[in-house]
Chain A
Amino acid sequence: MALLEIDNIHTYYGNIHALKGVTISVDKGEIVTLVGANGAGKSTTLNTICGILKPRHGEIRLNGESLNTLKPHEIVAKGISQAPEGRRIFSRLTVMENLEMGAYTRSDRNGIAQDLERVFSIFPRLKERARQVGGTLSGGEQQMLAIARALMARPRVLLLDEPSMGLAPILVQEIFSIIREINQQGTTILLVEQNVNMALQIAQRGYVLETGRVVLQGSAKELRENPEVRAVYLGETRH
């Protein structure tokens, strides 16, 4: 049994049928990436997992337990947290307060203190800016804060929605190596990315989403070598 199972979910925005039977599974310890064009339904998938959106059909299970009836905050408590698209850090709260909000569902003081140490060792820049309000951070720092904040929940599965968006190339490299490091420390990751090349380098497996459906799936290697993927997402011309 996979750690996170997304089983044939259909999600709607009013009448708009955004996810048309998406099935994805994520095993413990993996990095799985979800790629696809703009509007394919990647963020919708993550938000359905988190309970912000409710699927009309299908089921989402964590360790075999259904999440369908749970509210977003209960799902966080079960062990899924997300660094959402566009960072969405609290701009008027300090860096430290943002991190505290990440650990909102937890009450183990010692564990929280340990995790604070951990995110500060991963992101030393955040430590320097702990007392600064979030809105005054640079874009890259905000992205780091968004990831650090999600980590403070000590999630079993971490969902990352386009963590490299809008970052300078050097920082993109840095963020991807940090994602790998977080994974090596034991966190399972479901990664949504536009930067398909980089995503397929750090992921073990991947899914390609197109207008609300999974059209391709396989190991990262298979996807890297797939001619469709090479043409559409890796920007190569077809031979």
Chain B
Amino acid sequence: MAVVSREARVSRAPAVKLSLNRIMLWVVGLGVTALVVWRIAGTAALGLYGPDVWLMQTLNGLVQGSMYALVALGYTMVYGILLMINFAHGEIFMIGAMSGYFVLNGFHQSGFLASNPVPALLITFIVGMGVPPIVGVLLERIAYRPLRRAPRLVPLICAIGASFFLQQAVRLLFGIRTKVYPTVAVLSGSWTITVGEREMRIQHMSVLIIVITIVLMVALYLLVRKTKIGKAMRAVAEDKEAAALMGIDVDQVIMVTFAIGAILAGAAGVMWGLWYKQVIHTVGFIPGIKAFTAAVLGGIGNIPGAMLGGLFLGFVEAIAPTALDISTQLKDVISFGLLVIVLIFRPSGILGEVLTGKKA
């Protein structure tokens, strides 16, 4: 039985040869890391901020990270199954945010939001998570499926085109005016806790966002691990032809994958609206890129990786300006700097697997 090929096996062995290039990269990576540590130590030594500030930033980071993670899941699932970056995914998020706005604003105007805030919010989330999968599935059907056998660059370019198309379509339909989510009274309250000697306020909204994110992640985990369609998704991700030979409808599974990614992005869109208030047709761009970064950080194609990558990125963005004592304006630099550093040390992402041959 020694003759067997085991190339299908997954290994975590470092696949990268130690070349001069890599050594130089490591030196750069270690240098930057040392700089960051030195800077953090400096800030900590000054003792400018109490534990309440750090806790607050952590909480904000988790809220932001939740949204990144939910969007990142869509990138990573589609990549896992089609080896394609769906660059229009940020626009799917934007459509969720927009849909949520129209519902919540309608409820606000009619007074339903004030009288029945909980059902109003529930319906907002349902619509905000219900419209994006329709768009996502159409996008797959119209723009990506015909290109499935084309060279990998072609669907990528098509996705960029689709991204512009969706942005402009929303602009034409709903105008360029920034839409402002109405304030939801039940969510704008906060709990006050004491940390050290200081008081700290925890917004209801942040707790709601984190709780919904946890629920969605657990649901996704159970779906992918335990249900028939989830197992089929994993089978299709691994080998489409073999999956078809088992009687799995591959097109349907791909469609479901797009739909699930879009539902999660839609939830993140509504959260974004509730948290930052303002939405516009371009609102998906930056979060889209950040979530993509998070997916790569975690290891693209890997579901727990996207969750971890998103939360990690959100956390670092929130905490780094304080820790490094620099302007929050620089948080984008921090995210992409982080990406570079992580990729220097772990080219396939934090939880990324080094796949022998097939996917790498």
Contacts and interface: CB of A to CB of B under 8 A. Distances in A.
The answer on A and B forming one complex is yes
Interface of A: 50-52, 71-73, 76-77, 81-82, 84, 86, 88-93, 97, 100-102, 104-105, 134-136, 138-140, 142, 149, 153, 166-168, 171
B231 A166 contact: no
A189 B122 CA distance: 55
A100 B227 CA distance: 11
B33 to A, nearest CB: 33
Contacts of A134: 8
A140 B238 contact: no
Given A135-B10, A139-B1, A93 B245 contact: no
A197 B231 CA distance: 39
B244 A168 contact: no
Interface of B: 1, 3-6, 8-10, 228, 231-232, 234-235, 238-239, 241-250
Given A101-B231, A135-B8, A166 B3 contact: yes
Contacts of A136: 9
Nearest to B9: A135
A92 B234 CA distance: 8
B231 A93 contact: yes
A92 B10 contact: yes
B1 A140 contact: yes
A135 B239 CA distance: 13
8 contacts: A73-B248, A73-B250, A88-B242, A101-B231, A104-B246, A135-B6, A135-B8, A139-B3
B1 A104 contact: no
A166 B242 contact: no
A153 B246 contact: yes
Contacts of A140: 1, 4
Most A CB contacts (10 A, CB to CB) among B6, B228, B247 go to B247
B234 A93 contact: yes
B233 to A, nearest CB: 11
B247 A84 contact: no
Contact of B249 (A71, A92, A102, A149): A71
Contacts of B244: 50-52, 71-73
Given A97-B231, A138-B1, A90 B248 contact: no
A77 B246 contact: no
Contacts of B3: 139, 166-168
A88 B249 contact: no
A52 B241 contact: yes
Given A88-B241, A140-B4, A104 B10 contact: no
B239 A90 contact: yes
Contact of B238 (A90, A139, A167): A90
A142 B1 CA distance: 11
A45 B303 CA distance: 38
Nearest to A143: B4
